[in-house]
Structure 1
Amino acid sequence: MENALQNIKVLDLSRVLAGPLGTMLLADMGADVLRIEQPGGSDDIRHWYPFVEGESTYYMAANRNKRSMTLNLKTDKGRALFEELVKKADIVVENFKTGTLDRLGLGYHRMKSIKPDIILCSITGYGQTGPMNQHPGYDPVIQAVGGLMDVTGEEDGEATRVGTPVVDIMTSHYVAISILGALRVRDQEKKPQHIDLSLLDVQVSSLANIASSYLLKNHISKRSGNAHGNITPYETFQCADDPIMIAAGNDRMFAQVTEVLGHPEWAKEARFTTNHDRIRHREELRGLLQSVFIQKPATEWEKQLSNHGVPCGAVNNIQQVFEHPQVQHRQMVKTSEHETLGEVPSVRNPITSNDKTLPVDSAPPLLGANTKEILEGTFGFNDESIRVLKEEGVV
């Protein structure tokens, strides 16, 4: 699968996370992804802490396997060069505010007149249409507006955002999925397509059972901390050292939990026999289970419960994640050569196909690292003409 998108050319005008992560997925599958930024840089993520010798680790997480070019789309020459690139491209990805490309004279109608089968993927906070289509949308704001924060956090605590930018990450997956679908349609119908992806739409679609509970039963879900609102025991318990997550999703698994804890009689009590009973007596059950879990370390409980077929796991910090034997066995960390930092590690694409993982061919590029080669190879510019373009602020 590593060359599934070989010969597919992507012009990546996106910034920050959802767009760059999405195009990185395409690059992992072999697409030629060219990042295009303003001279001097236009991606805020380049300036986000922490840094390694001046390079943002945040930027490094979203831009492997790509090339980089600077191009000023606010200049006539810059727009003309971009249009020439569009002629040779399959896909353009952007996440400007709605209408920005049109104001630059480079909107969808212009692009499809240049390349009749172009695929344009536009990513915004709230979509191309609607009363909020001009509002900027950042991940934590969308988590708030889209209902995710309201169901995240302790029952008696405040609404809490998820610890990673999950809306951006989910949206990046839809960037890749929608583009793959669009490529399939293009190959059949030879028509241009404009994909309209909204972070809010993605977040609302991810509400899953919470949305279904409301739409079908008018039930408004509430925060329940690490517990599941509809299943128990399906939560964390403090062990002698660290907490452990238990996901006993059915009555059989609950019986196995009680067996491991040395109290098989609990599974036979009327108040705990079925999940419905356990939900009604949640606090009583939790107290009983917690009184036993606290007696041994999390790793010991994890081993015993796993041996009895109960889904569980210690709550690991980031260091423990990368030291985890399963993570190491799956070789989730790959290295690549960076122009200034040397060999750098990154988390690989999780896809494994026919026992092969997708390669990490190149580290995230420095700003404009490939500008000269593109100007020479694609446009035939010489050193003097490139110097003039730089002086004029075009590249």
Structure 2
Amino acid sequence: MPREKRLYYNWPGKQTVENFKPGTLDRLGLGYEQMKEHNPRLIFASISGYGTTGPYAKRGGYDPIAGAEAGLLHVTGEHHGPPVRPGLGLVDMATGLYAHGAILAALHACGQHGIGQRIDASLFETQISLLTNVGMSWLNLGIEAERWGCQHPSIVPYDAFKTKDLYLVCGATNDAQFLKLCKLVDLESLAKDLRFSTNPKRVENRDLLGPILNSVFKTKTTAEWIDEFEGTGIPFAPINNIERTFSHPQAHARDMITEMPLNAAKSGHVRLIGPAVKFSGTKATIRTVPPRLGQHTDEILAELGIGKEQVDKLREENIV
């Protein structure tokens, strides 16, 4: 077996993930430079608001703050309306996903070269990377991004339309789909209208087209429109609340809800969200339930070399 493979499968290192303000662990004697002296294979992942260097390194980091300062809130909200924070901590979660991939990459590198490294991830840089197309449009063309609500900046129609009872998201990503959509909503004349016959013209006249389509979608329920759209090839979906999301047949078919025993729960079990990615050879499962408060305190303190008598004393003093 080649040396790099042997190192990879017998990797005796440790992984650490921390999200203190930069410099905090260094002051405690637990920073990367200090810890790698004890274990050169250490993978040390730091997650902060702005990274470990630069003029903003000492600032604390929070999801909506990074979203504001790195452009997300600028592009989120109704057209000509105020900025809106997304309903989920997208920057927090995306940073965690980036760090996850980086840790795996660092483990692979350690397997090849036998040494670990520090991973430096930040909410600010994550959000900048998520700007993708609007960021590239600014960098290369000087085009400032706008808020579009549920609309698409360059494809029309593509919106959340109010139905008789709920909402339906649908769109026409090309002229052929627009013709199909016009036939489906019994407005074939729109496809022949020079103001709407091509996507560039529809983008130009979106404020004229939108009210026409809105008036039609209000005539039927979302369920009725779903029956109309099914099998047409036009992209569509209802806007589901959380209850309908977790009762969705696709969510059940793809094992996105799992149940595990949990004595601490009144029901004796806890329902969890399943893994988002499936593997053909190694089935992804949730093997442990969420830990209770302080459940692993003894194990962690033991790893730090703190004996049982000292742990008992820390408990008596309500320190742990």
Task: Please report the TM-score for the alignment, with normalisation by the length of structure 2.
Answer: 0.90
Query: What are the equivalent positions in structure 2 for 1:40-59 lying under 5 Å apart?
Result: none
- What is the SS of the residue equivalent to 1:114? coil
| Partner Cα separation in structure 1 for residue 149 and residue 300 of structure 2 | 52
For 2:280, the equivalent position in structure 1 comes to 354
Q: Deviations over 1:143-185 (max 9, x none)?
A: 1111111111112321111110000011111011100111111
Q: Deviations over 1:197-241 (max 9, x none)?
A: 010000010011110111111011111211111111111111111
Contact 2:107/2:116 (8 A) holds in 1? no
- What is the SS of the residue equivalent to 2:66? helix
When residues 385 and 126 of structure 1 are mapped into structure 2, their CA distance, relative to the original with a 3 A threshold, is closer
When residues 356 and 311 of structure 1 are mapped into structure 2, their CA distance, relative to the original with a 3 A threshold, is farther
How far apart are residue 394 of structure 1 and its match? 7.0
For 1:67, the equivalent position in structure 2 comes to none
How far apart are residue 376 of structure 1 and its match? 7.1
Q: Deviations over 1:74-117 (max 9, x none)?
A: xxxxxxxxxxxxxx752100000000010001111111100011
For 1:153, the equivalent position in structure 2 comes to 77
How far apart are residue 306 of structure 1 and its match? 3.2
1:299 to 219, 223, 234: 223
Q: Deviations over 1:325-358 (max 9, x none)?
A: 2222222111122241120011111111118642
Q: Deviations over 1:30-87 (max 9, x none)?
A: xxxxxxxxxxxxxxxxxxxxxxxxxxxxxxxxxxxxxxxxxxxxxxxxxxxxxxxxxx
| Partner Cα separation in structure 1 for residue 203 and residue 69 of structure 2 | 29
What percentage of residue pairs aligned between the two structures are identical?
37
Moved more, 231-240 or 257-266: 257-266
- What is the SS of the residue equivalent to 2:87? coil
Query: What are the equivalent positions in structure 2 for 1:83-232 lying under 5 Å apart?
Result: 89-232=13-156
Query: What are the equivalent positions in structure 2 for 1:280-319 lying under 5 Å apart?
Result: 280-319=204-243
When residues 213 and 373 of structure 1 are mapped into structure 2, their CA distance, relative to the original with a 3 A threshold, is closer
How far apart are residue 255 of structure 1 and its match? 1.6
- What is the SS of the residue equivalent to 1:266? helix
Contact 1:351/1:357 (8 A) holds in 2? no
Q: Report the AA paired with residue 130 of structure 2.
A: S
When residues 223 and 364 of structure 1 are mapped into structure 2, their CA distance, relative to the original with a 3 A threshold, is same
| Partner Cα separation in structure 1 for residue 10 and residue 155 of structure 2 | 46
| Partner Cα separation in structure 1 for residue 55 and residue 145 of structure 2 | 27
- What is the SS of the residue equivalent to 1:220? coil
| Partner Cα separation in structure 1 for residue 23 and residue 155 of structure 2 | 46
For 2:294, the equivalent position in structure 1 comes to 368
Q: Report the AA paired with residue 312 of structure 2.
A: R
Contact 1:98/1:128 (8 A) holds in 2? yes
Contact 1:339/1:366 (8 A) holds in 2? no
Q: Report the AA paired with residue 250 of structure 2.
A: Q
Structure 1 or 2: more strand by fraction: 1
Contact 1:338/1:364 (8 A) holds in 2? no
When residues 192 and 100 of structure 1 are mapped into structure 2, their CA distance, relative to the original with a 3 A threshold, is same
When residues 356 and 313 of structure 1 are mapped into structure 2, their CA distance, relative to the original with a 3 A threshold, is farther
For 1:333, the equivalent position in structure 2 comes to 257
Where structure 1 has 5 or more consecutive residues not aligned to the other structure, the ranges are 1-6, 10-87
| Partner Cα separation in structure 1 for residue 81 and residue 10 of structure 2 | 48
| Partner Cα separation in structure 1 for residue 309 and residue 299 of structure 2 | 14
Task: Please report the TM-score for the alignment, with normalisation by the length of structure 1.
Answer: 0.73
| Partner Cα separation in structure 2 for residue 244 and residue 186 of structure 1 | 49
RMSD: 2.5
Where structure 2 has 5 or more consecutive residues not aligned to the other structure, the ranges are 1-8
For 2:5, the equivalent position in structure 1 comes to none
When residues 111 and 223 of structure 1 are mapped into structure 2, their CA distance, relative to the original with a 3 A threshold, is same
Contact 1:8/1:89 (8 A) holds in 2? no
| Partner Cα separation in structure 1 for residue 35 and residue 132 of structure 2 | 36
Aligned residues: 311
Contact 1:335/1:360 (8 A) holds in 2? no
- What is the SS of the residue equivalent to 2:125? helix
Contact 1:339/1:365 (8 A) holds in 2? no
| Partner Cα separation in structure 2 for residue 241 and residue 174 of structure 1 | 39
